Structure 1
Amino acid sequence: MKTIGLPWRDGRFLAAEVPDDSGRTKGVRPLGGTVEFGETWQQALRREFQEELAVEITIIGAPVVLENIYQHEGQTGHEIIFAAQVTWPESPHLAGDTIEFSEDNGQTCIARWFHSDALEAGGIELFPARLKTQLQDLGSPARA
């Protein structure tokens, strides 16, 4: 089970770049991660943002629950994802258009603010695949 959070700024949501094997950005995914044994999805989401961005988030509203069946390196994967809108207090280290952070394994990641229409125009995929249809329920510009 996974949990992801969607902060919004000026009609754009924050998502981390997902590189292909050559290092080219093939898609983006909102920040979050795995719900560990004994955690609720809310606890996991708060923990992930604390670990990745060193920020205390507030979860806004009920989550959208997605069932994601996907192919990765020739294998079929299956996960349940809780996706929720989040906010945080103003923080200078998160004010830029690009935010660099590290995963648990030490890998450096880049997160950027994206307009959902720009993703399509640029040929960049949003992961999980069904998330794009749920953006309105998660605070997209239509509701902001």
Structure 2
Amino acid sequence: MPIDRSYIRVKAMLVAPNADGTKHLVSVNGKTDENAEGFHRLIGGSVELGETHREAVIREVDEELGARIVDLTFLGMVENIFRLNGELGHEVVALYRGTLDPAPGPEGGTLTESDGSVVPVVWRPLDDTELAVPLYPAAANEWIHGVGAGV
């Protein structure tokens, strides 16, 4: 079922660094009209009616990865206005930091989306200046680089 992007969505996403703090976990998404190389996205998803954003990120990580979050810390809110295959989208995203238990191995793994599709996850370098694949939400980059600096 296609996602209705005609309204602003509320999301909760996790910056999940690896054990040595050099990388963080992201989902790998295929090419779009805007990104021929595809894109990476933070782990997480939509906040459901009656659910806090904290509860949402915990639920999403459990549903998608079968993992729990250790040392969950709220970082802040970012706004994400974007186009996906030409269609306008708008999200307000609560960002969290925390480590995963269990964490995927060094090669990454997969996550299962709510529609049952399986998506690869990989460890993206915190210093991603050399990567051509963009990260979304883009406004999260300042927080992600702060995570590498111990924020």
- Tell me which interval the TM-score lies in, with the shorter structure as reference length: 0.7 to 0.9
The whole-number CA distance in structure 1 between the counterparts of 2:37 and 2:119 is 11
Mind listing any 5+ residue stretches in structure 2 that lack a counterpart?
Answer: 1-9
Give the TM-score, by structure 2 length: 0.81
* Matched residue, 2:28: 17
SS state at 1:81 partner = strand
Q: Percent identity?
A: 25
Mind listing any 5+ residue stretches in structure 1 that lack a counterpart?
Answer: none
Would you tell me which structure has more helix in proportion to its own residues? 1
* Matched residue, 2:150: 143
* Matched residue, 1:53: 65
Shift of 1:102: 1.6
**1:100 pairs with 2:110:** yes
> Paired residue for 2:86, among 74, 78, 82?
74
The whole-number CA distance in structure 1 between the counterparts of 2:86 and 2:16 is 32
* Matched residue, 1:8: 17
Contact 1:13-1:113 at 8 Å conserved across structures: yes
The whole-number CA distance in structure 2 between the counterparts of 1:62 and 1:26 is 28
**What root-mean-square deviation, in Å, do the aligned CA atoms of Structure 1 and Structure 2 show?**
2.1
> Paired residue for 1:111, among 112, 121, 128?
121
Give the TM-score, by structure 1 length: 0.84
* Matched residue, 1:126: 135
State the Cα deviation string for residues 88-144 of structure 1 (Å, max 9, x = none). 33x3x7234211122121211000111133x4313110111111122134x22x217
State the Cα deviation string for residues 44-83 of structure 1 (Å, max 9, x = none). 0010011011112135322320011112232322110001
The whole-number CA distance in structure 2 between the counterparts of 1:101 and 1:77 is 23
The whole-number CA distance in structure 1 between the counterparts of 2:138 and 2:125 is 16
